Amino acid sequence: MYILRLTHGAGVTVVDARGQARDLARLPGGGLENGIAFDTTGRFGHRLLVSATSGSRTTVYAVDCRGSVSTVTRSAPKLEGGIAVAPASFGRFAGELIAPDENSGRVYAISPEGRSSLLADSGLARGGDVGVESAGFVPPGFGPSWSALVADRRTPGNPHPGDDAVLRIAGPSLIAAGVRPGELLLATEGGAETDAITCDATSCRTRHVADGPSGAHLEGHIVLTGAGPL
């Protein structure tokens, strides 16, 4: 397991199957680390990608298995949340890093060359602790026995207080909403309003597919699992 380390030298910590932790990498520069994802498609060299935001700009780092760090870009828009790398089937943005911006409601794609492009405007609620926060791609093989999972962090005093639970949408509900393999699921931090985005070679299409509990406070990735009903 690879986790963001926010203190004692910002970077990435590895936890193995025995629960032993070790430092993998220390990141240069400042900013708040707020996104982590593996490049499973390969355009970033199958490395671990980490985003760190400072002010109105985000730096994206690529980390290899030996802990060597390189900078993809220092000038991406302000981003935060469950970043994800697009599969090869995702049209013009195939293999690029997909990242939401909760303040504007926009979704961006970042290429291996460091170029940032507007993928879509989610049309969902926007603002700090409110807007688009969590993202995840629907994998091949998705079907009725699958579920989409996302963390709902307890945040006392917030208009969306959360409850420290894991929220779930069952596969049949997603299928009934038209969700298919290869699509991007995107949810708001406040209330778990959820869109699905499909991209082809020329354009992307966004549609609304679900609403969570109004008090939900989402953080991190949307994870899809085929382990069957929980």
Q: How would you write 27-63 as a 3-class SS string?
A: CCCCCEEEEEEECCCCCCCCCEEEEEEECCEEEEEEE
Q: Looking at this protein, which amino acid is placed at residue 178?
A: G
- Tokens 């109004």 — which residue? 214
Q: Would you say residue 228 has pLDDT above 60?
A: no
Tokens of 138: 């629907």
Give the confidence band of 118 by pLDDT, cuts at 50, 70, 90. very high
Each residue's pLDDT tens digit, 51-95: 999 989 999 999 999 999 999 999 999 998 889 999 999 999 999
List all residues 6 or more positions away from 179 whose beta carbon is below 8 Å from its beta carbon: 138, 142, 185, 196, 209
Mean pLDDT of 35-49: 97
Mean pLDDT of 193-217: 94
In the chain, pLDDT over 70 holds for what percent of residues? 98
- Tokens 């993809």 — which residue? 72
Q: Would you say residue 29 has pLDDT above 80?
A: no
Q: What is the pTM of this model?
A: 0.93
Task: Please report the pLDDT score of residue 230 as a whole number.
Answer: 47
Task: Please report the pLDDT score of residue 124 as a whole number.
Answer: 87
Task: Please report the pLDDT score of residue 19 as a whole number.
Answer: 96
Task: Please report the pLDDT score of residue 227 as a whole number.
Answer: 62
Q: Would you say residue 153 has pLDDT above 90?
A: yes
CATH (one of 2.120.10, 1.20.81, 1.10.10, 1.10.3910) for 2-225: 2.120.10
Tell me how far apart the terminal alpha carbons of the chain are, to the nearest angstrom: 22
Every domain of the chain and the residues it spans? 2-225
Tokens of 230: 């929980």
How far apart (Å, rounded) are the C-alpha atoms in residues 113 and 21?
Answer: 32
